[in-house]
Amino acid sequence: MKVNETIIKSVRCVFVLIWFHGYLAVKRSPFSIANFVLTPLSILFFIYIFGGARAATYGLIGGVLSVTVSSSIIVETDAAFARIVLRIQDMFVASPVAPAEYAVGLALSELMNGIVGIALFLFLLVRQAHTSAFGLSMVLASLFLVWACVTSLGFLISSFARDVRDLWVYSPIITILLSFVPPVYYPISVLPSFVRPLAFLSPTTYAAQVMRITSGLATGNAQVYLGALSLYTLVLVLLASKRVKWRTS
């Protein structure tokens, strides 16, 4: 009975954060959703114009991953802003809210900004590639891991912020490094063989490979890439949990 009450309390705390920091923020400024969709849609448009329908599948894979990354990494900015400027984290420290509840609630609330774009690109990808039910489950699992991985990276980076001027520096850079530089919008085969191992320094490369395999654009074992991404995510989650301090005093 006590366990059930604890679970209900945790879920309630998470949903309150999603409502306050995510839903209400999007409701006040619905056009903020466009910030996460316009660039991937523009890239998809030109890929389709110059490459045709098959190449557009690469654009759809890149689109769903880049929206996921951009709407996850901004937790770096908001977590640091809440801690340094608003001092909201201190309020949660003084409350019965656990650190994990705060982190999950804040991370999911940030995802509200990109949920429309993720759903749009995912729908188009499944329709274009005729993805099977098993393939869709692999795609969803890879997206979840990318969200968890990038969110952990965001919390990890936010722990180094000590000044307001540091808040808006890293998110755009990380978005470019994870969404556009690695083989996300393009096949990894176009890279020189000696560069390809470096591409796997980015977690999005693993997710993109899973999606390309399930979409019929590449061959290989999607489960292997998904397993590697799981390990990558676990390492970042552990690093973030060790580095991020709940109490600042």
> Exposure string (b/e) for 218-244, b if CB count within 10 Å is 16 or more?
beeebeebbebbbebbeebbeebeeeb
Alpha-carbon 247 to chain mean position: 26
Q: What is this structure's pTM?
A: 0.88
User: Is 51 part of any domain?
Assistant: yes
Sequence-separated (6 or more) residues with CB below 8 Å from residue 152: 233, 236, 237, 239, 240
Sequence-separated (6 or more) residues with CB below 8 Å from residue 214: 129, 131, 132, 134, 135, 136, 138, 139, 222
Give residue 223's domain range.
2-243
- The tally of domains found in the chain comes to 1
User: Is 96 part of any domain?
Assistant: yes
Q: Radius of gyration over alpha carbons of the chain, in Å?
A: 19
| CB neighbourhood size of 112 (10 A) | 20
Query: Across residues 195-201, what is the average pLDDT?
Result: 95
User: Is 183 part of any domain?
Assistant: yes
Q: What is the pLDDT of residues 119-156, one digit of tens each?
A: 999 999 999 999 999 999 999 999 999 999 999 998 88
User: Is 249 part of any domain?
Assistant: no
Q: What is the pLDDT of residues 80-124, one digit of tens each?
A: 777 777 677 667 666 666 777 778 888 888 888 899 999 999 999
Q: What is the pLDDT of residues 222-233, one digit of tens each?
A: 999 999 999 999
User: Is 230 part of any domain?
Assistant: yes
